[in-house]
Amino acid sequence: MRLWPTSLGAKGALFFAAVALLLFATPYSNLFFLLTSFLAVLGGIGVIGAWRNIRALGATVVTVEPAAAGDAHAATIRITTKKPHRGFAVSVLADVADATISIAEVPLATDGMVLHAELEGLARGIHRVTALRLRSRYPFGILVAERKVVVDVEVIAYPKPAPADPAHSHDRDGDGMTPPNGDEESLAGLREWRSGDSLRHVHWKATARAGTPIVKELERLGGDGIDLVLDRRVSSDELEHALAATTRQVFDASESRRGLRLRSQDADMTLDADRPHAAPLLRWLAQANALPRDASPPPIGSLHARAVTGHSARRADHV
């Protein structure tokens, strides 16, 4: 915990020193004694009040959502205090990427308070929140009291997606609940009935044995999907264009519940059509870097795979 004077506090200290000097240099000692005593008591209350206001506060980072480079990240912060302590006029700041960023202002901090804040946009990459700082100038604004809480939270700033291509809007048709026509499926297992399951997936023999509805969980074997090969032996500018196009493909595939496979020099990642969780792919795209021209080529894709380099990113017919 730290305390340091504000500009108002520094001026107040100089004024106190001047009044104390006048106490001994002028015949009006009674007047200046009262003024000196008043300023000393006021300063003491300011120091004690600032220290007590912040000393029992703490904070933890609940989540920091991934966001496109340059866009704000939604963050959830939980304030903790030693009951019945409360903090007044508290600022919450975060140490991110060698900078301290203000993320929230709390007029009254109480134990268990959850703050929905925003972390300003960051450059593409994987960043870390290394500390939260709780600051306050309460009660008189003459001192800043700060409590530092060490944390370690990852912040993903993935490439800003390229604009959607209207020409491919038909690729995202459908409600995502059933596979496109022509898809083959295999039995992956059995599970209990969930709201929204189709009657055609009920396993009647297992249902009769268990006495409760049991449905078949199917795994898609093929069909309409995306197979991308990202060659990073390009300039930094060309790579940024390729990453933006690739990120758009990832989001389109996730929203339309279509399979996607991404291959590059050091990556072979897939997006499951039935469980489209894009976070691993976005994390990799956030930290992908350009490679020299003499680097190894990316893995060879399928016959229908399309390369993603420079400004181009085209959709494959099958995975």
Res 83 pLDDT > 90: no
CA distances from 203 to 60, 213, 218, 272 (A): 46, 8, 12, 24
CA of residue 30 relative to chain centroid, distance: 61
Res 315 pLDDT > 70: no
Average pLDDT over residues 169-176: 42
pLDDT on residue 308 = 64
Whose CA is closest to 198, among 183, 223, 177?
177
Which of the four pLDDT bands, split at 50, 70 and 90, describes residue 204? confident
pLDDT on residue 94 = 94
Cβ proximity of 149 and 81 under 8 Å = no
Instruction: Choose the weakest-confidence range: 200-209, 234-243, 272-281.
Output: 272-281
Average pLDDT over residues 64-80: 93
Whose CA is closest to 155, among 178, 125, 184, 133?
125
For the segment 119-171, what is each residue's pLDDT rounded down to a tens digit?
988 999 999 999 999 999 999 999 999 999 999 999 999 999 998 765 554 44
Whose CA is closest to 231, among 260, 207, 262?
262
| CB-CB neighbours of 161 under 10 Å | 19
Rounded Cα distance, 159 and 241, in Å: 9
Which of the four pLDDT bands, split at 50, 70 and 90, describes residue 201? confident
- The DSSP annotation for 166-201 comes to GGGGGGG-S-SSSPPTT--EEEEEEEE--TT--GGG
pLDDT on residue 216 = 78
Outline where 7-107 has alpha helix (H).
7-25, 29-55
Q: What is the pTM of this model?
A: 0.71
pLDDT on residue 129 = 93
| CB-CB neighbours of 176 under 10 Å | 15
Q: Three-state DSSP class for 64?
A: strand
Average pLDDT over residues 14-36: 85
Residue type for position 229: V
Which of the four pLDDT bands, split at 50, 70 and 90, describes residue 172? very low
Question: What share of the chain has pLDDT > 90, as a percent?
Answer: 48
pLDDT on residue 232 = 92
pLDDT on residue 276 = 63
Which of the four pLDDT bands, split at 50, 70 and 90, describes residue 301? low
Rounded Cα distance, 252 and 225, in Å: 11
Average pLDDT, the chain: 82
Res 261 pLDDT > 60: yes
Cβ proximity of 1 and 51 under 8 Å = yes
